[in-house]
Structure 1
Amino acid sequence: MGILFSYNANSDTGSKLFDFAHKIISLSINDCALCSLTFGSFIENKQWKAFRESLLAKGYKLQFLHEDEFQKSYKSKFGHAFTYPIIVAETPT
């Protein structure tokens, strides 16, 4: 089973620099709840890391994308707009 995480942030350099500066100024006003959950200003959140590693140990396949990467890869598959961040779980058929 796979789980896809898509942040409410874009992957371009300007967006990454803005997000980094935003985290340093104030984590409490982060526009992306998934960003706040997974990372602090500089490193991955320890509780999140333990959770993520437990999922991997159970055989889950995890994929992390920025909003623009998700739209490029999956827009035609899902065919509608999303509010980001999102988490999509692949279920066995």
Structure 2
Amino acid sequence: MKHSKLYACLSYLSILILIPALIPGKDSFVRFHLNQGLVLLIANIVFGCISFIPHMTLIGDLLNCVVLIFAIMGIVSVIQGQKRELPVIGRIRLIR
């Protein structure tokens, strides 16, 4: 696929995950990073909800910082042309 790295990078950028999710004929590289990005997006939503619980704001915010770090790690992996699983959540498969 001509734009595999671009689509894979978009997978880690929150709502922009829709672009690679909706294109037909994704290769395994894009699907791998799409899965990683989707897991990160779900984690981000959950941690964002935790941030609204009284006395849990700091924990939710810290976890969202971890999500940001994981997204950066994912983008670096894409730029290097690698399929490197993210720590802790990398083995979760939502997209095959």
TM bracket, shorter-chain basis: under 0.3
Query: Which structure features the higher share of strand residues?
Result: 1
TM-score (norm 1): 0.28
Hey, which of these two has a bigger chunk of helix by percent?
Answer: 2
